[in-house]
Chain A
């Protein structure tokens, strides 16, 4: 059974591995950042889309993983390959505490509490100048001696494939039932025997862990960390990615992350105006197609098949 899964993962990896052959150095970098966002969006979808816990601290967990790993590597000489998982684990542990703190909160209250946590973390990073170098940013050692994006692509791809697979295993198991039941009606889930406290904490931990891992790896790729990564804009872009792709679907955040990151690159010259465009896009989507691109695809697909048959 495990062998079959490994073969499947290897096949997916082998299928996606040649993509950079057709791309220049800059676009490989864009793809790498897309893969970072794929992990971020998919892991946020676990908590917000599947479990209905609208956390607004996901970007903070990525930064937490990044700073933890970077500071450990810089100050204790820990190898980067150990620093990254430690960053993920710390983010997961903090996710556990934040999840516990917010257990009884729902909807806007949960959003506000998690946003307040993220803001506190951002301010702490800015003020902890001696350790984090504040708004000047912290230079982080890069994982590879080479600066070539191509080499990082293979590691990002591995991380994304493994991360997505582990998340897929969760949502397609009985835990996925619990998550969706909690999202739809927590009281009913509890009355049906679901240990809602345990599973909400679990999802907070898993989701924060992957954000931490992605953030740590991203930090050691870019070579710089700054509190800007904890700006609300960063969280907003994650939400836009998931909603554009399709909240509550597994493929949605993957498609949305790649689409928005690519679009963002094409619109780079417009600066912050991009956010206005994205916000407008989300409003239109919410009005006409709430299921995002995945939902649109599901509706178009039967018509397309019928057309091809004709």
Chain B
């Protein structure tokens, strides 16, 4: 276990079984602070399960997860949020019967933020500034259920930025099914938050051009195991990766 302060997140021999099915097997990852890491792999390779394990929605069958050298795999998702981990979902999970602005306020007012709720006007201003940043400001009073799929994706991403301190942002297929304009807003917000606030991102994506533009390194997951790690160009030439994608 690294304690040199450079590693933000580490998983050690992480395993998740659903009955007889092994979704994640002995998976060890190490993510540096400030990194944008891509997680790629064929469908059903265990990427989303990995996100669920790190964010706490699933309990690991075996193995350990460390954030800043502290073991976190026994913590509930809301406590992990308090430690600085936030996530998005492949199918955007917004609060449909709440307005866009109310959606933004939920994480900032939540238990994970201690007594931050006492600074309500300040939180509202922060939310409005973020909505401006992701070009949803004109919709702040609209119910989330009236937004398009792409706008909901933007909203759930912007909502995550409301958490303080935010250390690790897990994104599950943030570019799936969104139009090029929204994709570009999402990319810009990831880059800006990484650059300006030093937030570390772990991005699961099938969208290789976006992964290439954003990610410093990628980890290739296949059948629940990490089969390669490096830049996208490096892993693209590894025979095991080619075989995982093409089959054999």
A: residues with CB less than 8 A from B are 174, 177-178, 180-181, 183-185, 187-198, 248
User: Nearest residue in B to A180 (C-beta to C-beta)?
Assistant: B98
Contact A248 B106 (CB under 8 A): no
Contacts of A178 in B (CB 8 A): 106, 109-110
Can you list 29 contacts pairing A with B, beta carbon distance less than 8 Å?
A: A177-B105, A177-B106, A177-B109, A180-B98, A181-B95, A181-B98, A184-B94, A184-B98, A185-B96, A187-B57, A187-B89, A187-B93, A188-B93, A188-B94, A188-B95, A190-B57, A191-B77, A191-B78, A191-B81, A192-B107, A192-B110, A192-B159, A193-B78, A193-B107, A193-B111, A194-B78, A194-B110, A196-B78, A248-B97
Instruction: Choose one: A184, A187, A195; the contact of B111 (CB below 8 Å).
Output: A195
One of A191, A197, A248 near B87 (C-beta < 8 A): A191
Within the complex, the shortest CB–CB distance from A33 to chain B, in Å, comes to: 32
Task: Identify which of residues 72-129 in chain B touch chain A, using a CB-to-CB cut-off of 8 Å.
Answer: 76-78, 81-82, 86-87, 89, 93-98, 102, 105-107, 109-113, 117
Q: Is B9 in the interface zone, CB < 8 Å from A?
A: no
Check if B154 is an interface residue, CB within 8 A of chain A. no
**Separation of A197 and B244 alpha carbons in the complex (Å):** 41
When distances are taken between beta carbons in the complex, the residues of chain A under 8 Å from B78 are 190-191, 193-196
Asked whether, in the complex, the Cβ of A184 is within 8 Å of the Cβ of B97, the reply is: yes
Determine which residue in B97, B110, B159 has the highest number of CB atoms from chain A within 10 A of its CB, and name it: B110
The residue among B81, B95, B96, B163 with the most chain A CB atoms within 10 A of its own CB is: B95
Do B95 and A184 touch across chains, with their CB atoms under 8 A apart? yes
Which B residues are in CB contact (< 8 Å) with A198? Answer: 111
Kindly list chain B residues whose C-beta atoms are within 8 Å of the C-beta of A197: 76
Are the C-beta atoms of B81 and A192 separated by less than 8 Å? yes
Shortest beta-carbon distance from A273 to chain B in Å = 35
- Contact check, B95 vs A193: say whether CB atoms are below 8 A apart: no
Counting chain B CB atoms within 10 Å of each CB, which of A177, A187, A189 scores highest? Answer: A177
- Of chain B, the residue at the smallest CB distance from A248 is B97
Q: Given contacts A180-B95, A184-B95, are A191 and B106 in contact (CB under 8 A)?
A: no
At the interface, is chain B mostly helix, strand, loop or mixed? helix
Minimum CB–CB distance from A255 to chain B (whole Å) comes to: 20
Q: How many chain B residues touch A (Cβ–Cβ < 8 Å)?
A: 30
Instruction: Assess whether B200 is interfacial by the CB under 8 Å rule.
Output: no
8 smallest CB-CB distances across A and B, nearest first, come from A193-B112, A193-B110, A193-B81, A188-B93, A184-B95, A192-B107, A174-B109, A195-B111
In the assembled complex, the Cα of A168 lies from the Cα of B117 at a distance in Å of 18
Known: A177-B109, A187-B57, A194-B78. 9 other contacts (CB 8 A): A178-B109, A181-B106, A184-B95, A184-B97, A185-B96, A188-B94, A191-B55, A192-B107, A194-B106
> Closest CB-CB distance, B162 to chain A, in whole Å?
8
Of residues 55 through 71 on chain B, the ones whose CB sits less than 8 Å from some CB of chain A are 55, 57
Residue of B nearest to A192 (CB): B107
Among A193, A195, A196, A197: residue with most chain B CB under 10 A: A193
**B55 partner residues in chain A, CB cutoff 8 A:** 191
CA distance A197 to B97 in the complex (A): 21
A196 to B105, CA, bound (A): 16
Residues of B within 8 A of A194 (CB): 78, 106, 110-112
Residues of B within 8 A of A174 (CB): 109, 117
Which one of A183, A188, A197 has the greatest number of beta carbons of chain B within 10 Å? A188
Q: A177-B106, A192-B107, A193-B107 are in contact. Are A185 and B95 (CB under 8 A)?
A: yes
> Are the CB atoms of B81 and A185 closer together than 8 Å?
no
Give the residues from 130 to 162 in chain B that come closer than 8 angstroms, CB to CB, to chain A.
156, 159-160
A177 to B105, CA, bound (A): 8
* Bound Cα distance A185, B113 (Å): 20
Whole-angstrom distance from the CB of A28 to the nearest CB of chain B?
38
Residue of B nearest to A184 (CB): B95
Specify the chain B residue showing the minimal Cβ separation from A182: B95
Complex Cα distance, B159 from A188, in Å, reads 11
Report how far A198 CA is from B156 CA in the complex, Å.
24
Which residue of chain A has the shortest Cβ distance to B105 in the bound complex? Answer: A177
In the assembled complex, the Cα of A197 lies from the Cα of B160 at a distance in Å of: 21
B110: A residues at CB distance < 8 A: 178, 192-195
Q: Which residues of B contact A190 (CB under 8 A)?
A: 57, 76-78
A104 to chain B, nearest CB (A): 13
